[in-house]
Structure 1
């Protein structure tokens, strides 16, 4: 048997290729998982864009210099097991390579799941190393796995970002500005913030996506990027940047002299990414979701954290129902084409892409 993996050029994200390797015999304690399907979203492009800074390339390293594997979220089935406590046929939700299969080293097994104990993943955030058994996963619902793959990792970031901003009393502001407002992580964040009284949410997006953003019902106002000058500038506000567009970020910092906080979350505008540089106002700060997980689990306890997360997930799924059309891509060549489109920004915010490498 063999495994096919999609490799991405680290310094030119739209450049990708397929590599096939022969499967090796499992060592004691290892399992081989067939990756059934995974979602491909702008969030995965963000993983690649911040791959070096945030160590996303380190989860599934490859030997070929300059190339890497972009992590994705989805479902897999255990097809071989040398690990007591993990049975062949078990279905899992978790963090996978863009590949047809992967070998894991389960550790810290519980009835709900296990962690991958691979040496390269030991120093990486634990939230990415956990694999959930579908039959014990409180987030799992039969018949909605594709939607889970698309929204669940984005929900987690959005839910935690909402909590982070509220935890800091919105840095003394009551207006929240969003770039890439049509991205699923942005409108997931906006959905949760919308439940909090006294906030005004302003979304910036490309002109063709304004109607979609308006249809979401999350933003008080949606403007095309070129219309930024129409936004009232003299008010305390927070900028939440999902695009990573250095030029637009600089424009925001200049237009809003009372900007209280600038949060860097994503990199949907791959061709315009850039550092903070010399900007007026607060220095952009990268939002790191695992740190908020750690803080809240300490504050609330793991059980209460999980309970609140499930409640937030169920509310968001209800809101998203009917707003996303799922599009399937079967086979490694189709996966390669889907990545090329995503990395080049050729996406429809109303579409969720589900990929199977087999």
Structure 2
């Protein structure tokens, strides 16, 4: 019987495993076993923004009060009634935190397909595509975990960097990144750091907890790393800045806005390690400087697909990914330490650790529900 984790939408700590009755496939459907998936702070953001950004809509739970958490990783076709997918083929894509998914492949080609299920028609194609591992240029069997853990996050990092450059850095001279030890933040810092020495390159300042300062400095992609408890005094508030908020902390956002005032030229929110602040109301009231906006990666991706074409975007993203993987896998110590977990209880423990902010920044958690 298929098993999934159901999360109460207005209380992310309230979770339960739910079994449902297996059903036979209809013509044109494929049943996948969900094999190995990543669980990161980004998935907590999916839950926190589940209603506002429609993340709960991908894998409906059948109950308006709960949702199924989307995760990135790998699945294997175990039953197929679609000519484009053979039993035994492995795909990379977006899955529920569970052990099975039935899809309706559409627009299939040698590289993969999109899920044509009716409830996914209105959802962004970035999340609906399943890549055939045997034809995926970015796939490396030896680094499946790194792909699952970092590729979706790095796509967001790449698009944030592109968004900042697309807007000429908003006229700023520095960019501040909160939760600087998080994977999406340091991916963004890595992309920004590739522009060092170029006209208009921004100084990259990472903001993190005191416990994560050493790890964040060792990455080498930040020009400066500041601990939260040293703010606002340690900030160069006289220099115009852009703030990219990966934490969602209302208190930190206010500290930044009040320190810079009108010298803060853009403020955007990407994630929410402080997810409780995201669910609270009124955190942006009466802030000096620009109104904080939500950065939605698919919107920037859509713009670039129109300008460069899908192949052009994938080519640029792929080249950046190859460069990013070099320090991730070969730095001493590596930027990422893969930790594997098996079974529902282990998956639940990782989810709770991430939810409560107890996961170490260098760890990347891979899950399989099979015990």
Q: C-alpha distance in 1, partners of 2:27/2:89?
A: 18
Whether 1:343 aligns to 2:358 is: no
Preserved CA contact (<8 Å) 1:14 1:339: no
Q: C-alpha root-mean-square deviation of aligned residues, in Å? A: 1.0
Matches within 5 A, 1:102-141: 102-141=101-140
Compute the TM-score of the two structures, normalised by the length of structure 1: 0.98
Matches within 5 A, 1:27-46: 27-46=26-45
Match of residue 156 from structure 1:
155
Q: C-alpha distance in 2, partners of 1:302/1:173?
A: 30
Match of residue 62 from structure 2:
63
Q: C-alpha distance in 2, partners of 1:277/1:140?
A: 45
Match of residue 50 from structure 1:
49
Q: C-alpha distance in 1, partners of 2:135/2:241?
A: 42
Gaps of 5+ in 2: none
Match of residue 173 from structure 1:
172
Following TM superposition, by how much is the alpha carbon of 1:10 offset from its aligned partner in structure 2, in angstroms? 1.1
Following TM superposition, by how much is the alpha carbon of 1:332 offset from its aligned partner in structure 2, in angstroms? 1.2
Q: C-alpha distance in 1, partners of 2:186/2:150?
A: 11
Match of residue 256 from structure 2:
252
- Between 1 and 2, higher relative CO (CA 8 Å, sep ≥ 6) is seen in 1
Following TM superposition, by how much is the alpha carbon of 1:167 offset from its aligned partner in structure 2, in angstroms? 0.6
Deviations 1:211-231 (A, max 9, x none): 000010011111111111211
Following TM superposition, by how much is the alpha carbon of 1:294 offset from its aligned partner in structure 2, in angstroms? 1.0
How many residues end up aligned between the 2 structures? 357
Preserved CA contact (<8 Å) 1:180 1:203: yes
SS of corresponding position for 1:16: strand
Match of residue 221 from structure 1:
224
Preserved CA contact (<8 Å) 2:33 2:75: yes
Q: C-alpha distance in 1, partners of 2:64/2:106?
A: 30
Match of residue 204 from structure 2:
201
Following TM superposition, by how much is the alpha carbon of 1:64 offset from its aligned partner in structure 2, in angstroms? 2.5
Preserved CA contact (<8 Å) 2:169 2:202: no
Match of residue 282 from structure 1:
290
Compute the TM-score of the two structures, normalised by the length of structure 2: 0.94
